[in-house]
Amino acid sequence: MLSLSFTPFPNLESDRLLLRAVTVDDVNEVMELRGNPETMKFIPRPLVTSQEMAWEHIAMITEKIENNTGINWAITLKENPKLVGIIGHYRIQPENYRSEIGYMLLPEYHGKGIVSEAINRVLDYGFNVLNFHSVEAVVDPENQASIRVLEKNGFVKEAHFLENEFWDGKFWDSVVFSILKRNFKKGK
């Protein structure tokens, strides 16, 4: 079984990005990200409508890191420390050497390859530092942009679960994509 430790916190870098810890200083950006109906359209979770809710979300991220049960990074551009998105291995199964990756980005940064660059760096860390065997991503089948990003990064469709999650008065489908360590190709 994997033994995980996220202390000290591992900042990650790529060509354009610095992935750093999410802190209380990011409260307004977390509120903007998790409170935006557009960014939350495919995520069956409540909209963040107050700073208090954003602080609770940051506290949950911090607690997972302190307990070594999950790790999320603030996505920032190297020339600007402002959080533009969040990415991480937020559901880790150490007994299966597997994690679930999740990510979101403010709409004004979509279409610039930022998520792909962040995914590649987070996969590299997951496979080569944490020693995961596989990483999965669970997406709404209507989230074509996310599906394209996953496929571009080497993920393959594993399963399509019909109406397996109930949220906000309706049943949602889930599609699981995954990538195995042996199929990962480190990019930029």
119 domain residue, yes or no: yes
DSSP secondary structure string, 61-118? HHHHHHTTS-EEEEEEETTEEEEEEEEEEEEEEGGGTEEEEEEEE-GGGTTSSHHHHH
Name the amino acid, one letter, at 37.
Answer: P
Query: Do the Cβ atoms of 87 and 75 come closer than 8 Å?
Result: yes
Query: Which domain, by its residues, includes 94?
Result: 12-183
| Residue 7 included in any domain | no
What's the predicted TM-score (pTM) here? 0.94
In a domain, 20, yes or no: yes
Instruction: Report whether 116 contacts 79 (CB < 8 A).
Output: no
State the pLDDT confidence band at 70, using cuts at 50, 70 and 90.
Answer: very high
In the chain, pLDDT over 70 holds for what percent of residues? 99
Does the residue 166 lie in any domain? yes
Q: What is the per-residue DSSP string for 151-186?
A: HHTT-EEEEEEEEEEEETTEEEEEEEEEEEGGG---
pLDDT grade for 186, boundaries at 50, 70 and 90: confident
Residue 2 lies in a domain: no
